[in-house]
């Protein structure tokens, strides 16, 4: 009897003790269980014959609930069957007119619209891979991105036809087939596609047309501005896409959910988490061309949205709108994303009600993902002993002034202490591979860090500074020196400087991101430049060059002209001091300029402009 009492008492007290001493024990456990479950689903799908892909998952849903709404865009709604039929037509047209066959790569150059989705499905049906070009890029960047995926066909949205025309001669030199999603287009060398799709038959493409696809075959190429240089294509192969399929279902998203996608589909967050995630779970997608702060909640109410995606700025923009009585009148239960600041996170919950915010961390091409599953505000995830052993990542001490990891006397890196900010690296192994960038061995090598803890080991350099606190919560802190984030996009500083130095009056350019003010996410672009001898700074030419070659978020909004640029002992440009000095004319003694979009020119930076920016009257 006594033993029984003790047992009962013990059983009752253990959870109490756990709660007291290991407050996250149960959420850690439940996370591990859902992770294990996802892994089993993944492993089962991995073993299916013939090979099971995201497309097959789409077919399953199209067969189970053909009339269920798959996609809503503006006033149009498409069921699973509609999407299946439209992509059949698209596939037939592409097969016939572009001569596509299994294994080919096609570049998609379009913004968020249903055709993007149908094109991708069509390409999957044909066994082709898609390179998702950023629809903001133009000219040299466009050509660069197109060239690095090895595509022989490009499909452009009708509103981007003119941007393709600008680079047409170079495309023609390489015998690239160019299609515009319009019914009429008069430029020779560019073919229309919309009319051909309309004429095509709704006939399924047989499985045999894609029978040679393996798990190693490329599924999509997604461009990242990683840490250095021009954008690079990260290869997402079929296996990775299949594994990514589990991310959303492990977030308990189901067929009943309605997902609101306003992030660009050419990014991993929008495409993999949002779009592929909904295919996997059989949910409904409400697709937006762009994020609109004024339409956000009305859209959510109108479509009964249950899941939203965000990047840091999105939640802040939402919090900055005037309060309304119906702020809590919606059905959103889950927000998935990354980059939200703790104060915004709190305010968002206060204002819009009990929405579960799941912050996650992961690089498109990286080999490690963190997920906040405990409700700790501000954290991107948690360090769990078993996962650490499995994935072998570490936060190592980093010297931000020299822009390189700190090494001990034996040349090895040193793990950062609890609570100390350092560089996140993760060991490249079979279970966490790093495939690198397509046709860019040099950039791939740059992301590899050698001899980290042992001679000969290789780690993936995330380029992200992180901190792990004493309770094992993981926090994202910043990007390392040669990249910064602005408006949710990574800006690679070397890419911008390469473009600035194309100008005949610029000798050197040092590009960096500066904080606008306390509490603002991201950093805005700024450049310190030197002029060539006997050359003048040309404000208008500078503006038109920058506007032509760089997307809005990457253009330096501030410029300072220096006599010479400081460099470090290792010949890297010094940024730390420049970043600290920012764009305040009271601090910066050099000639200082501001990119004024209305005037289509750079203008002299004045104390007035500075105070208008600080008071928020000039929006950046």
Ligand X SMILES: *[C@@H]1O[C@H](CO)[C@@H](O)[C@H](O)[C@H]1NC(C)=O
Binding positions for ligand X, rule: CB under 6 A: 303-304, 356-358, 372-375, 377
Residue whose CB is less far from ligand X, 221 or 373: 373
363 close to 509: Cβ distance less than 8 angstroms: no
Output the smallest distance, CB 351 to ligand X, in A: 14
Return the closest-CA partner of residue 124 out of 217, 13, 8.
Answer: 217
530 close to 563: Cβ distance less than 8 angstroms: yes
543 close to 601: Cβ distance less than 8 angstroms: yes
Residue whose CB is less far from ligand X, 228 or 304: 304
Return the closest-CA partner of residue 132 out of 50, 24, 223, 1.
Answer: 223
Residue whose CB is less far from ligand X, 205 or 314: 314
Distance, in Å, from the CA atom of 407 to the CA atom of 415, rounded to the nearest integer, reads 10
Residue whose CB is less far from ligand X, 183 or 252: 252
Output the smallest distance, CB 358 to ligand X, in A: 5
Q: What tokens does 432 get?
A: 């966490």
Q: What tokens does 451 get?
A: 């001899």
Output the smallest distance, CB 308 to ligand X, in A: 14
Output the smallest distance, CB 262 to ligand X, in A: 17
Residue whose CB is less far from ligand X, 240 or 358: 358
Return the closest-CA partner of residue 223 out of 128, 144, 133, 143.
Answer: 133
Local structure of 416: helix, strand or coil:
coil
CA triple 439-442-447, angle to 5 deg: 105
Output the smallest distance, CB 442 to ligand X, in A: 38
Shortest-Cβ-distance residue relative to ligand X: 375
Residue whose CB is less far from ligand X, 23 or 50: 23
Distance, in Å, from the CA atom of 149 to the CA atom of 234, rounded to the nearest integer, reads 9
Residue whose CB is less far from ligand X, 373 or 475: 373
Q: What tokens does 568 get?
A: 């470090």
Residue whose CB is less far from ligand X, 375 or 433: 375
| Neighbouring residues of 137: CB distance < 8 A, sequence distance ≥ 6 | 145, 231, 551
Output the smallest distance, CB 352 to ligand X, in A: 12
Residue whose CB is less far from ligand X, 377 or 547: 377
Output the smallest distance, CB 109 to ligand X, in A: 31
259 close to 286: Cβ distance less than 8 angstroms: yes
Output the smallest distance, CB 304 to ligand X, in A: 4
Phi, psi angles (nearest 5°) of residue 486 = -140, 130
Q: How far does Cα 612 stand from its chain's mean position? A: 31
Phi, psi angles (nearest 5°) of residue 28 = -60, -45
257 close to 281: Cβ distance less than 8 angstroms: yes
Cis amide bond preceding 265, omega within 30: no
Residue whose CB is less far from ligand X, 69 or 158: 69
Output the smallest distance, CB 317 to ligand X, in A: 19
Cis amide bond preceding 339, omega within 30: no
Task: Compute, in degrees rounded to 10, the torsion defined by CA atoms 413, 417, 420, 423.
Answer: 30
Distance, in Å, from the CA atom of 379 to the CA atom of 339, rounded to the nearest integer, reads 10
Backbone torsion region of residue 248, taken as left when φ is above 0, otherwise alpha when ψ lies between -120 and 50, otherwise beta: alpha
Output the smallest distance, CB 303 to ligand X, in A: 5
Residue whose CB is less far from ligand X, 82 or 495: 82
Side-chain-facing half-sphere of 496: CA atoms under 13 Å: 33
DSSP string, 512-555: EEE--STT--S-EEEEEEEEPTT----HHHHHHHHHHHS-GGGS
Output the smallest distance, CB 230 to ligand X, in A: 35
Output the smallest distance, CB 252 to ligand X, in A: 9
Residue whose CB is less far from ligand X, 316 or 560: 316
Return the closest-CA partner of residue 489 out of 463, 514, 522.
Answer: 522
């Amino acid at each position: 009897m006594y033993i029984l009492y003790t047992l009962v008492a013990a059983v009752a007290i253990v959870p109490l003790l756990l709660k007291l001493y290991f407050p996250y024990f149960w959420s850690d456990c439940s996370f591990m269980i859902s992770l294990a479950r996802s892994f089993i689903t993944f492993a089962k799908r991995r073993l299916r014959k013939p090979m099971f892909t995201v497309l097959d998952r789409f077919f399953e849903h199209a067969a189970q609930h053909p009339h269920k709404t798959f996609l809503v865009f503006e006033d149009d709604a498409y069921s699973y069957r509609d999407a299946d039929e439209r992509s059949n037509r698209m596939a037939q047209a592409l097969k016939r007119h572009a001569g596509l066959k299994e294994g080919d790569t096609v570049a998609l150059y379009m913004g968020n619209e249903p055709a993007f989705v149908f094109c991708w499905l069509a390409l999957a049906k044909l066994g082709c891979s898609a390179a998702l070009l950023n629809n903001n890029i133009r000219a040299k960047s466009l050509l660069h991105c197109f060239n690095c995926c090895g595509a022989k066909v490009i499909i452009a949205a009708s509103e981007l036809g003119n941007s393709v025309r600008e680079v047409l001669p170079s495309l023609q030199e390489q015998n690239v087939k160019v299609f515009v999603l319009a019914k009429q287009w008069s430029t020779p060398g560019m073919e229309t596609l919309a009319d051909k799709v309309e004429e095509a038959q709704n006939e399924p493409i047989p499985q045999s047309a894609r029978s040679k696809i393996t798990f190693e075959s490329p599924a999509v190429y997604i461009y990242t501005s990683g840490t250095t240089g021009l954008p690079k294509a990260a290869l997402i192969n079929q296996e990775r896409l299949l594994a990514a399929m589990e991310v959303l279902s492990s977030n308990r998203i189901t067929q009943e959910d309605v997902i609101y996608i306003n992030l660009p589909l050419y990014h991993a967050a929008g495409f993999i988490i949002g779009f592929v995630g909904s295919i996997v779970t059989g949910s409904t997608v409400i697709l937006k061309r762009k994020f609109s702060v004024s339409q956000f909640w009305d859209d959510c109410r109108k479509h009964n949205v249950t899941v939203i995606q965000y990047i840091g700025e999105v939640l802040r923009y939402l919090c900055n709108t005037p309060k309304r009585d119906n702020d809590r009148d919606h059905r959103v239960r889950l927000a998935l994303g990354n980059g939200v600041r703790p104060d915004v996170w709190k305010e968002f919950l206060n204002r819009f009600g009990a929405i579960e915010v799941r912050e996650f961390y992961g690089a498109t091409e990286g080999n490690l993902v963190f997920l906040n599953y405990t409700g700790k505000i501000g954290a991107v995830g948690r360090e769990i002993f078993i996962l650490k052993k499995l994935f072998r990542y570490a936060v190592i001490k980093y010297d931000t002034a020299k822009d390189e990891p700190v090494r001990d006397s034996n040349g090895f890196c040193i793990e950062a202490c609890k609570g100390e900010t350092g560089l996140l690296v993760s060991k490249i192994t079979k279970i966490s591979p790093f495939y690198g960038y397509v046709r860019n061995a040099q950039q791939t090598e740059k992301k590899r860090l050698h001899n980290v803890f042992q001679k000969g080991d290789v780690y993936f350099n995330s380029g992200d500074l992180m901190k792990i606190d004493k309770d094992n919560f993981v926090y994202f802190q910043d990007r390392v020196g040669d990249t910064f984030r602005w408006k949710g996009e990574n800006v690679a500083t070397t890419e911008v400087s390469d473009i600035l130095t194309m100008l005949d009056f610029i000798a050197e350019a040092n590009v960096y991101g500066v904080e606008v003010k306390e509490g603002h996410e991201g950093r805005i672009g700024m450049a310190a430049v030197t002029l060539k001898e006997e050359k003048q700074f040309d404000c208008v030419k500078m503006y038109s060059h920058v506007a032509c070659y760089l997307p809005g978020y990457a253009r330096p909004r501030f410029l300072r002209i220096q006599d010479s640029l400081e460099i470090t002992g290792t010949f890297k440009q010094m940024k730390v001091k420049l970043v600290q000095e920012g764009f305040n004319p009271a601090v910066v003694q050099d000639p200082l300029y501001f990119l004024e979009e209305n005037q289509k020119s750079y203008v002299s930076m004045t104390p007035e402009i500075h105070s208008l920016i600080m008071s928020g009257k000039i929006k950046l």
